[in-house]
Structure 1
Amino acid sequence: MSEKVVLLPKTATRSVPARPALHRVLLVNDDFTPRDFVVTVLGAVFRMGPERARGVMLTAHRRGCCVVAVFTREVAETKAGQATAMGARAGYPLRFTTEPEC
């Protein structure tokens, strides 16, 4: 008498992919870049309306720096680079940096 071997399907365990780490884009205040130019850059790179961009610019002016937006690392670094490059092309020391979000 032979025994039949029954093969059960393997159960697949699905792991939930980890969310990508988020990074903040910071606008660093300087005393040389015109305020209107900063508002223009915020609108062009970060798609902010004039009122919101002006508020971000004034916060950076008063506090020394301001969080502009939060993105994944790659997007944050790209946008910070684009915004800083716009300032450099115009001859201003405008600077945007990134940092990991806590």
Structure 2
Amino acid sequence: MNEMAKYKITMNKQNDRSNKDDDHNESGVATRLRPKLKKPDPYRVLLLNDDYTPMEFVIFVLEKFFKKNREDATRIMLNVHQSGVGECGIYSYEVAETKVTQVLDCARQNQHPLQCVMERK
């Protein structure tokens, strides 16, 4: 039986005093049981600093793939440049994996060694 299709049926006996021969007057309400859903684990997408990727390209990547405005992209880029790593965002596993792949593909196409990784938060 499909887990989503399970029902709980509650039966209530109704005693009809006028008809004592029929003790099987029952009514039921079918309620669907909802499975407990767990929130997906969050993953951080991080850019790693290198000595060759131009700062402007890092800003471009943040604007294009992470939908950051110019100010936020510049702030993250400076964090990458100064501390060696910068957080681009927090996503579900599948979304984080896709963004990492997009960034790495774009960096390779533009001949930059920019590294992008994901880690569980």
Q: Among residues 52, 55, 77, which one is paired with 1:57 in the alignment?
A: 77
- CA-atom RMSD in angstroms: 1.6
User: Structure 2 counterpart of 1:54, which letter?
Assistant: T
User: Structure 1 counterpart of 2:50, which letter?
Assistant: D
Distance in 2, Cα, partners of 1:47 & 1:2? 69
Partner of 1:97: 117
Partner of 2:98: 78
Cα deviation, 1:1-20, whole Å, max 9, x if unaligned, reads 45325253344433442112
Larger radius of gyration: 2
**Shift of residue 80 of structure 1?**
1.3
Instruction: Provide structure 2 residue ranges, at least 5 long, that are not aligned to the other structure.
Output: 1-20
Distance in 1, Cα, partners of 2:64 & 2:91? 17
Partner of 1:41: 61
**Shift of residue 22 of structure 1?**
1.2
Q: Among residues 31, 34, 41, which one is paired with 1:21 in the alignment?
A: 41
Matched, 1:87 2:104: no
Which runs of at least 4 in structure 1 moved beyond 4 Å after TM superposition? Answer: none
Distance in 2, Cα, partners of 1:49 & 1:65? 19
Please identify which structure carries the higher strand content: 2
| Percent identity (aligned) | 33
Instruction: Provide structure 1 residue ranges, at least 5 long, that are not aligned to the other structure.
Output: none
Partner of 1:30: 50
Cα deviation, 1:35-71, whole Å, max 9, x if unaligned, reads 1111111111111111211110110111111111011
SS of structure 1 residue aligned to 2:88: strand
Distance in 2, Cα, partners of 1:3 & 1:47? 67
Distance in 2, Cα, partners of 1:11 & 1:18? 22
